[in-house]
Structure 1
């Protein structure tokens, strides 16, 4: 499902020489210099250098099941609308009228047969074409004033957008994720619940926190009722018997485990605790109407993470996604979404409190951790510190990706 053409060029950020020097002085394997977490000028640079040149996980087909359904996402000062044009086509546009720039869609989600600007009623069809503009001169050509599209890709029910032509190739990620995620049938899921959690911290601290479990034993008791703490038992390299049994169960269910890694993505199916069926506080299934109804045994959770803004989990009974959307240098909106089978009925097949309790608790704890981290980073005593090579490896990967991406932009 795609719909994109004539994409807007990436603006060239206006840089001062000391910003380039700052990136070149970053020490790999360590946290970043204070300015990279606290400077509004750095944030503005990142919006162009990092986010405009990346694939951003932006939602699910389950959020726009019918023609005309749409969602909007906010990235810094930029709003994007993602809309279902037809059963087989999803399109994304900058959420800006081509007349005088007003926002077209002013809510997080909705449904429309046409996109009508609330200011002067310029009207666009779902393909982004301008079809009505009142009292314009005779030489006005509506074909020159359609909505500005963004790249939009859908893989196994998950929607990704890219705001420029400079994003990396999507094909390898699709090739890796699709066979691993497709059995969970998210194309036939629905969003049972979603939240937007404002975190008053720099987006990189939010993502660094989400890329490690070094803090889990001290700060996430709810998560560790079901989640295996990878810092206590290196079960991937050591391959204990129970890990081999887990892989055999997945294979018997026809599932691909991975790992699959690329420059900007990481995909892996891994086990949850013995005797636990799902990522819930009591370990029981969150929903009796299963996403993967056939097969037997504990297939754990499939986790995929994409730079710079997301990670998700898909289990036999439900899925959870985490998206981080930077608003300004000290504000990040975290979107959490819980998906179940589209035929599941609340109160019969699942209870919302049971479905959401584990990740609600975890997200609230991570909000406090990221905000506390941001407070400390802003102080005079902050000096970049070293990461744990073993327990913060994914954080190191994230920071290295960030530095490589920023420095690549600086070279050009």
Structure 2
């Protein structure tokens, strides 16, 4: 059993070291940060046998614990996964560094020039489950934006995460950057997370990435601001003016391409004006793809392939080949339903009516609202951010996929010429 006092002291020491590193990172040039990331990519390539040897320890322990095949697949650092990590680093290197950019520069009547400069957030604590490649992804985004990061991965990936941390710190040391800018919590004791979440004097932001249970625990325990999304209950509303030939592949893609991710489709709302024609068609198409459709009374009447939905099904994040289908009177009812059952993640309208599209965008509150496109596009890479550290469904300070800009804040900068205030 880990000594509680010793563990708390370890976390405090690491957090203080991260804070010092974050100060040292503030003036670092984009060229130097990119050089460090380039060295990480080289070391990942050169150290494949060591990485995979440590990863095998996690896989062996996972098999002994009875982890599912899907969990083991997520845990494995195959050559393909390492190639993907290297590619991800190259993509981050190619992105524009937002730190130091000044915008909204305005001339005041007294001659002062007032602008806003992008600056690092400071120290970020990242708490995540399973996939060890997140260790590299998160570190890369934080380093590119001049932040220090404390990484706490799942206990099932401890050997993998520690060997990756060693590579990250070696690259930082070799390129003259503070090695404490990236640290992995070296213990699996869950109490470490509790201690980490109490360090409000040294940590500026917590980003949990994983299941709803993890995110709720972090949100309820943390003294530090948390950027989060509890779940992704995403909907598509098929308007009376929808092109139904376009609608079907969009719905099928949203549900079946990767049903276990947060931007997967979980509910379809169909305008009553097209329900008689479209409900039987879309339910059969989805059923043929292996999807279980749970419908309202009207849906079941129109197509006997649909199961009667229970009251608890509405607003459920199924994360599997199941969704709900409901016939609605109009857009107003669709918006009310989304407001009640959605999770502010991704909402879509399928319509060829410009006014209806704009009304839906204005009335629906979600981190991404789309017209005639799959919910699966709510992703940092797909939306042009290049990469993301997570998706926020809270509005302070980011809403939606978090890329480089969302890992910075804006401070005021003022240029004067001897002005004094009257």
Tell me whether the two structures share a fold, i.e. TM-score over 0.5.
no
More strand by share: 1
More helix by share: 2
Higher relative contact order by CA 8 Å / sep ≥ 6: 1 or 2? 1
Which has the greater radius of gyration?
Answer: 2
Alignment TM-score, normalising by the size of structure 2: 0.26
